[in-house]
Amino acid sequence: MKYMLSALLLTLFFSCNSNAQKKNSNDSKAFPITKTEAEWKTELTPEQFYVLRESGTERPFSSPLDKNFKKGIYVCAACETPLFKSEHKFDSGTGWPSFDRVIAGNVAFGTDNDLGYSRNEEHCATCGGHLGHVFNDGPQETTGKRHCINGAALKFIPES
């Protein structure tokens, strides 16, 4: 029994690679804006680089954008591509900024299997920066989608 438990724990340990241990899966894809890792590092904060370029995840409830409900637009922190409108933001209670829809054409989607199951991953369609994931547990009165986005991947531009 001890042997089986040890084998199971070792298997889990080696199979559960976090996003922080992997390079962005979009590194090999061509995007309209491409830069070297060194260029991104000079333009982004360490947290932005971790999230956008290494597919990391910020701590829940750490972004001031989570509770921001001012009118405006949310753009990619790396390239300023408009991604989400403030009128589509809602409080999901998850600790990350959440939206029920994207600005069409500005967000690219892929599959993320890093946790041992498939999730729908979101990237900026212009620079390939990792934004977060989309789930089917959003507001049913609108799209039913919850775009769960890292605040570090976003900049907020208030409506003037």
Percent of the chain predicted with pLDDT > 90: 75
Q: Is 148 tagged catalytic?
A: yes
State the pLDDT at residue 2: 54
Considering the domain boundaries, does residue 54 fall inside one? yes
> DSSP state, 146?
E
Considering the domain boundaries, does residue 73 fall inside one? yes
Please report which confidence band the pLDDT of residue 94 belongs to, taking 50, 70 and 90 as the band edges. very high
Considering the domain boundaries, does residue 29 fall inside one? no
Per-residue pLDDT for 95 more than 50? yes
State phi, psi for 130 to the nearest 5 degrees: -70, 130
Considering the domain boundaries, does residue 149 fall inside one? yes
- The CB density around residue 41, as the number of other CB atoms within 10 Å, is 14
**Mean pLDDT across the stretch 137-149?**
96
How many structural domains are present in the chain?
1
State the pLDDT at residue 16: 32
Catalytic residue among 76, 79, 127, 148: 148
What's the rounded Cα separation, in Å, for the pair 147 and 130? 12
Residue with the two structure tokens 């409080």: 91
Q: Which residues contact 99 (CB under 8 A, 6 or more apart)?
A: 74, 84, 85, 88, 89, 90, 146, 147, 149
Considering the domain boundaries, does residue 125 fall inside one? yes
For residues 10 and 99, which has the higher predicted lDDT (pLDDT)?
99
The CATH number that applies at residue 144 is: 2.170.150.20
Considering the domain boundaries, does residue 12 fall inside one? no
pLDDT tens figures, 1-54: 555 544 444 343 333 333 333 344 444 568 999 999 999 999 999 999 999 999
Q: What is the mean pLDDT of the chain?
A: 86
Domain that holds residue 131: 37-158
State the pLDDT at residue 153: 98
Considering the domain boundaries, does residue 11 fall inside one? no
* Tokens coding 154: 């976003």
Per-residue pLDDT for 112 more than 50? yes
pTM here is 0.81
Residue with the two structure tokens 């995840």: 57
DSSP structure string for 25-67: TTTTS--SS---HHHHHHHS-HHHHHHHHH---PPTT--GGGG
State the pLDDT at residue 45: 98
Considering the domain boundaries, does residue 32 fall inside one? no
